[in-house]
Amino acid sequence: MTAQDYVALTPDTLAQRLGTLPQLAERVGPAEGWKVREVGDGNLNLVFIVEGANGAAVVKQALPYVRLVGESWPLPLRRSFFEYNALIRQEARDPGSVPEVFHFDEAQAIVVMEFLQPHVILRQALIEGRRVADLGERLGLFCARTLFRGSDLSLPAPAKKADTALFAGNVELCDITENLIFSDPYFDAPMNRHTPGLDGIVARLRGDLSLKVAAQHLKMAFTSRAETLLHGDLHTGSVMVTGTETRVIDPEFATYGPIGFDVGMLIGNFLMAYFSQPGHEGHAGERAGHQDWLLGTAATIWEVFAAEFAHLWRSERRGILHQASLYEDQGHALASEQALSDVLGQVWRDTLGFCGIEMHRRILSLAHNADFEKIADEGRRAECEARTLAMGRQLMLGAGAIHGMDAVIAMARRMDKENHL
């Protein structure tokens, strides 16, 4: 075995293996005093918190298989390379939005990064009924800045093409998305599972031919429209928060794809948080205020995203698309505004479609959301999930006729009162 051979870390071996790494010792202190615990609760990786005399850091290591399933599903270590490369681009494009990276070891698939404390995973906070100040604003800005600045609207063409090629190598993680999100929900795929009370609605969805076709149109958009560098897995489990601060983590699914993919997945997860709330109530209506806040936050994400995107369009559109030389420099500012409105219109329709399909896959496919999974009463869970599935379908099929977040919110409120079982 050479020094470069990959070996998974354990809490017992970490100090001995990484104790001489200056980037870690600087932040944490001498290795002799380190306390190490493994806290990974995601689907894929090992995550260690290393604490010492001077502070703490996170050591994230990819495993050569899908942690959620086990060694029977191998998964390349190079996802860690894509995560590292995405993190440094996100930091450059939206400073302060992601954890600071201290060190990357490609052979060992290790990223050493800032320990966010006292942050918790946003999904858990939402399940507990907790709020975060400025959450929608922060996430809307993150989406607009990273998605605009990773696109042909902003990057020099050679840099954009090089990055498109680089992230096209994230084949296996894209394959997970392509199957788990875009295909598995719509047939009886081997790894699927759903709450037993949903059998009827699941059969109806799988027999809905227009829905299956819509899902494949979305899949084609994901695989073929290399518009920008996506986070690629922007759900509420990929966000860490305090009561006042928001950071985005875990971009290992990063790839080039349609701008609306990240925004749609994110809003879809807020809608799932919304529909799951009745399942967490001690008495009916207890979470009504929290539900209002969740819908308001989803609306803010879109509104801030659109406003910041428009601001960046007007102030730093220096890529090869919609050049100022064609519009403003010719005295045709109106054309620029028309083009912006067209582009945002397309992103909006894409967002709704991706939002809807995310709401389906988290209930029908392999990787479920704790928002619903933590509802112990299967009957109540099925009621909440059925409403979510119904709304997901409306979003996927009706995207062209839904004009603005007010309409989305009104639809969610109406469906939350209906029985879709």
Q: How far is the CB of 233 from Mg ion (least distance, A)?
A: 5
The side-by-side arrangement of strands in the sheet containing 120-121 is 120-121, 239-241, 246-248
- Using CB under 6 A as the criterion, what x/- string covers residues 301-320 for binding ligand SR1? --------------------
Q: How far is the CB of 42 from Mg ion (least distance, A)?
A: 5
User: How far apart are the C-alpha atoms of 370 and 362, rounded to whole Å?
Assistant: 10
Are the CB atoms for 269 and 358 separated by under 8 Å? yes
Query: Of 299 and 366, which CB lies nearer to ligand SR1 in the complex structure?
Result: 366
List 94, 163, 227, 250, residue binding Mg ion (CB under 5 A):
250
**Segment near ligand SR1 (CB under 6 A); pick from 90-98, 104-112, 128-136, 172-180:** 172-180
Scanning the structure block, which residue is given the tokens 């701008």?
Answer: 259
Tokens encoding 56: 């703490």
User: Contact between 226 and ligand SR1 (CB under 6 A)?
Assistant: no
Q: Which does 180 bind (CB under 5 to 8 A by kind): ligand SR1, Mg ion, none?
A: ligand SR1
Q: How far is the CB of 38 from ligand SR1 (least distance, A)?
A: 18
Angle in degrees, 0-180, between the axes of helices 79-93 and 171-180, rounded to the nearest 10: 90
Tokens encoding 139: 């996430």
Q: Which residues, 29 to 48, sit near ligand SR1 by CB under 6 A?
A: 43-44
Query: Of 177 and 300, which CB lies nearer to Mg ion in the complex structure?
Result: 177
Q: Give Cα separations from 342 to 165, 301, 337, 369, 384 (angstroms).
A: 27, 19, 9, 34, 35
Q: Classify each residue of 145-167 as buried b or exposed e, where b means 16 or more C-beta atoms within 10 Å of its C-beta.
A: bbbbbbbbbbbeeeebeebbebb
Query: Of 42 and 140, which CB lies nearer to Mg ion in the complex structure?
Result: 42
Q: How far is the CB of 282 from ligand SR1 (least distance, A)?
A: 30
**Segment near ligand SR1 (CB under 6 A); pick from 2-10, 53-61, 116-124, 174-182:** 174-182
Query: Of 34 and 261, which CB lies nearer to ligand SR1 in the complex structure?
Result: 261
**Segment near ligand SR1 (CB under 6 A); pick from 29-37, 116-124, 175-183, 390-398:** 175-183
User: Contact between 180 and ligand SR1 (CB under 6 A)?
Assistant: yes
Q: Which does 155 bind (CB under 5 to 8 A by kind): ligand SR1, Mg ion, none?
A: none
DSSP symbol at 365: S
User: Contact between 232 and Mg ion (CB under 5 A)?
Assistant: no
Phi, psi for 258 (deg, rounded to 5)? -75, 140
Q: Which residues, 65 to 84, sit near ligand SR1 by CB under 6 A?
A: 66, 68
User: How far apart are the C-alpha atoms of 5 and 7, rounded to whole Å?
Assistant: 6
Q: Which residues, 30 to 49, sit near Mg ion by CB under 5 A?
A: 42
User: How far apart are the C-alpha atoms of 1 and 234, rounded to whole Å?
Assistant: 37
State which residue has the least CB distance to Mg ion. 250
Q: Give Cα separations from 225 to 87, 164, 342 (angstroms).
A: 22, 11, 16
Compute the CA torsion angle 129, 134, 136, 141 (nearest 10 deg): -150
Residues in touch with Mg ion (CB under 5 A): 42, 250
Residues in touch with ligand SR1 (CB under 6 A): 43-44, 66, 68, 176-177, 180, 233, 366-367
